[in-house]
Structure 1
């Protein structure tokens, strides 16, 4: 979008709730790009529930690498890949001028302190100007929606405060009824993964035909996604970039797949919409993404509204400026008696 509209996510802050962010990476530099980087340390109630939020950490993603890849997709500057005029900022994120808040809530492949991450984002929303929380993790694929689940309550609280919350649909496809239990909450954006030719990735989780609340909302690029690499980590060792013209890319970027990669793309597009129209509510953003999506030759419970169309979404956001709609799907979790339509 930078080439067409000069829309880059300026003035928007995205919290990356994941394994952490390696803000020593030049594309994710602490203090300029990553405005806060938090390592969440908890005891899982083994020692009386003592938890700590360690702020200003240069690298909060020391064992996984997952969160660093996610952070680069949503808002990496691409500065390392700017050494060739023909491919300037080749590996920049979708919203390269956005600000990031890293929330290191896990180790290895486990997100252990997700609820604490939401607590931090909510408590520090105003101080850090957090607009969006992106979540590329989950569990309980295929489980029924529980409005009283603590994670669902937390995501609702964030949504109620005006934050856009995106969640990965999960990678348990092509079997049906395999959606991430946290992604099917009506107040979050449920993201499926597509390929570069705008087909559905085989691994992307599916919902249930004829069950409206059990379906993704939108499909976004999630296969073979190149983004920032945290070296010497479990996921950082996967999928290296091999570029004969730029062998140095191996040290800074790698290529992996998953709905985890599609979800920050959607969060980045939400940042673009908020740049052109800061008054948009979470519901309006979701509605715009779905209404402007490109149709796909799949059922709604597989791909939702279709494949994300960034250009059309940005144009629509400008069109609806000033027509704010408040929380159309906002039903307090404690008052939801049964799963309802999205």
Structure 2
């Protein structure tokens, strides 16, 4: 038996790579201080009735039955000291009911339970929770877009732009609407204002085809329950998000958007104090081409939906149903992880099913101090950190107005709200090269082509999104994955990414101290099999399989000239990262005697 060195000698321990980050609260910057303000009260309920019995009734009987349902709901509401009135119907057929006062989510969840107990025709009932934009603005301005091109913390955009620029793809930005901006002119298309509450809309009317942002400034305490604690200027949040995705490029001014030939469909759902779940859900459905009562058909169907917003608690049934509808229509839903520096399992929509959840990294490529984390996060992207310098934030289009609109400008923000449009822009590039990709295929490709974190980012997804690798793997690029090993790959952090099953790479054991690492993102239910064949009968190299934190999962230590094989299955509920390592034991090295081939299948 040949002697082997320790399996753990010189083994770098990569941080685990799956993260969940949800948006349980808005985060704002006030004189450099970050304030977390979860919205815990609302004055609306969403009630979904079982519709089948009503469909069989005559119209008059149906009206009477609906009136009886309201009376039953009102009786239950009186027990909780609230009066309920029908307000409107959502795109999924649920009824939005208006309360005569704001009540806590805990109180309204109890009301929902009692409503279902008193009326068996109710399919589900839940509070119509308020969502808010996630951001931490800073008033300094610089022109550097490190998030696009810097080696350490950037997205490798210049290489990706050689392959795609987003042509033919529409990205819906579900946010505060937009301000007309010189650097967005030509890339804004259609849009709609989905805010149904006059007090929130701040534009003098309800729903209409004008998605322009009139401002979301509030004074201290205006949103109820003592919030916000201080006066807030207008954020122009949706305009900042839209610029990251598709600001015009090559126009000799301003900044470059990630998918600068894509179109942005602005959908206004957030106004003063935030926005309601029911309005957001309608916008999600409509963005992807679904029908919403009272709203004209969407003639600019979006393939990508960006939601840099959120609220606390589990994923609402209303929101999940809307996401399911959008996915069924082919839309990829990208959501922010949240800015509370916590596990985001109790926040939404980042904890909804079928979304791509995004954590934020700083300029050093590590987890931004505010970013949420956890097992539902898919990937990370630059979100910035302006504490030491505004230049370390994310630059994008903005407006100078403190309350109402002013003039065009640019500014640096930080937050998972800023990280999310980075990923939405990359997805637009992917779909412009390969429109046939499904939402699941997009998510798998994004996760499998990330690059390793250059700094600590525990539970931040599989890595930082690599725009160039994602576009290549999407199948539409002219650059093909390499047929051979690319040095250096002597650590997990520099491992060569294997982008598809069936790949066979040629490689070289450069010296007796050489170790070659290869990274695979293994889908749910798949078994990775790696086979290493030495190129010389004298060569004795060994094969090892590691988990994402450096834990040894399998090994093969055959003798000289023998083939080594390792395998491992993913029995979990999400894709996982695996590392395959080839290590020298004895025999030939270098270009003359150190050749070998390695195959990956799953």
CA 1:67–1:217 in 2, change beyond 3 Å: closer, same or farther? same
**Equivalence for 2:269:** 105
**Equivalence for 1:53:** 207
After superposition, give the CA deviation of every residue in 1:265-302 in whole Å (9 maximum; x if it has no partner).
100000000011111111111111110101226566x2
**Equivalence for 1:138:** 310
- Aligned equivalents of 1:149 and 1:319: distance in 2? 36
- Aligned equivalents of 1:179 and 1:269: distance in 2? 27
**TM-score in terms of structure 1 length:** 0.75
CA shift at 1:181, angstroms?
2.3
After superposition, give the CA deviation of every residue in 1:71-115 in whole Å (9 maximum; x if it has no partner).
1011111477x24xxxxx6x1110011011100111145133312
**Equivalence for 1:95:** 259
- Aligned equivalents of 1:236 and 1:289: distance in 2? 37
After superposition, give the CA deviation of every residue in 1:125-172 in whole Å (9 maximum; x if it has no partner).
8621311110000111xx34x4x5211211121112110000000001
Is the 2:169–2:432 Cα contact (8 Å) retained in structure 1? Answer: yes
**Equivalence for 2:299:** 127
Q: How does 1:83-232 map to 2 (within 5 A)?
A: 83=253, 91-108=255-272, 110-112=274-276, 113-122=279-288, 123=290, 127-140=299-312, 143-144=313-314, 146=315, 149-173=317-341, 175-177=342-344, 180-207=347-374, 214-223=375-384, 224-232=393-401
CA 1:200–1:60 in 2, change beyond 3 Å: closer, same or farther? same
Is the 1:178–1:205 Cα contact (8 Å) retained in structure 2? Answer: no
**Equivalence for 1:15:** 172
RCO comparison, higher one (Cα < 8 Å, 6+): 1
- Aligned equivalents of 2:441 and 2:191: distance in 1? 29
- Aligned equivalents of 1:187 and 1:71: distance in 2? 23
CA 1:136–1:234 in 2, change beyond 3 Å: closer, same or farther? farther
Matched length: 287
CA shift at 1:197, angstroms?
2.1
**Equivalence for 1:62:** 215
**Equivalence for 2:413:** 256
Secondary structure in structure 2 of the residue aligned to 1:97: coil
Q: CA-atom RMSD, angstroms?
A: 3.1
Structure 1 residue corresponding to 2:192, chosen from 24, 38, 58: 38
CA 1:230–1:161 in 2, change beyond 3 Å: closer, same or farther? same
CA 1:94–1:206 in 2, change beyond 3 Å: closer, same or farther? same
CA shift at 1:184, angstroms?
2.0
- Aligned equivalents of 1:320 and 1:74: distance in 2? 20
Secondary structure in structure 2 of the residue aligned to 1:283: helix
- Aligned equivalents of 1:191 and 1:312: distance in 2? 18
- Aligned equivalents of 2:475 and 2:165: distance in 1? 14
Is the 2:166–2:259 Cα contact (8 Å) retained in structure 1? Answer: yes
CA 1:66–1:155 in 2, change beyond 3 Å: closer, same or farther? same
- Aligned equivalents of 1:41 and 1:67: distance in 2? 14
**TM-score in terms of structure 2 length:** 0.44
Is the 1:169–1:179 Cα contact (8 Å) retained in structure 2? Answer: no
Higher strand content, 1 or 2: 2
2:308 corresponds to 1:76: no
- Aligned equivalents of 1:220 and 1:109: distance in 2? 27
CA shift at 1:61, angstroms?
4.8
- Aligned equivalents of 2:403 and 2:338: distance in 1? 19
CA shift at 1:185, angstroms?
2.1
CA 1:179–1:69 in 2, change beyond 3 Å: closer, same or farther? farther
- Aligned equivalents of 1:61 and 1:194: distance in 2? 31
- Aligned equivalents of 1:235 and 1:293: distance in 2? 40
- Aligned equivalents of 1:263 and 1:206: distance in 2? 14
CA shift at 1:233, angstroms?
4.3
- Aligned equivalents of 1:61 and 1:178: distance in 2? 33
